[in-house]
Amino acid sequence: MNAPFRRRDRGSAAIELAIMAPSVLLFFAAVIVAGRYSLARQAGEAAAYDAARTASLARTEADARAQALTAALNSYRAAGLTCEPLEADVDAAGFQQPVGVAATVTVRVVCVARFEDISMPGIPGSFRIESSFTSPLDTYRSRT
C-alpha cells in the first residue's frame, strides 16, 4: 500500500527546487545590493568629512575648493568605488569672515556610484549618493 504513495511523490523535490531556486537567488542578490549600497553611503559620509576637514585646513578659498574635490575623490578611491560624476560643492563663505570670528566651511559631495559588476534585471546599476559635512575654520588663523 505504501508503494503507490511513493510513486506520486517522485520528482516533487525537483519541482520544489525549480520553484524555490530563483526566489532564493533573488533574495541573496538583494542582500548583496543592499550591502553594497550601505557601504557606498558610508563611503559618501567619509568623503564629505574628509573633504570638509581638508577644506577647513586650506589657507585660501580657492585652495579649499580644489583640495576638497581631491580629498573626496581620494576617499572614494580608497573605498574602492568609482564615481562618475563626482561633485564637491564647497560653501566657503567662512573665509570672508575676519580673523577672530568663528566660521565654518561646508562641503556637499554628490557621487553617482556605479555597480556594473552586480547589475541584474530589476536592480539599478548605479546609485546617487549625496552627503555633506561642516568643519570649523581656525578662529585665529589668517584667511585670505
- Domain locations in the chain as residue ranges: 2-136
Q: What is the pLDDT of residues 108-142, one digit of tens each?
A: 999 988 776 766 666 667 788 999 999 999 888 87
Contacts 24+ apart (CB under 8 A), 80-83: 81/40, 81/43, 81/111, 81/113, 82/113, 82/114, 83/111, 83/112, 83/113, 83/114
3-state secondary structure of 126: strand
- SS3 (DSSP) at 61: helix
Judged by DSSP in three states, 140 sits in coil
pTM of the model: 0.78
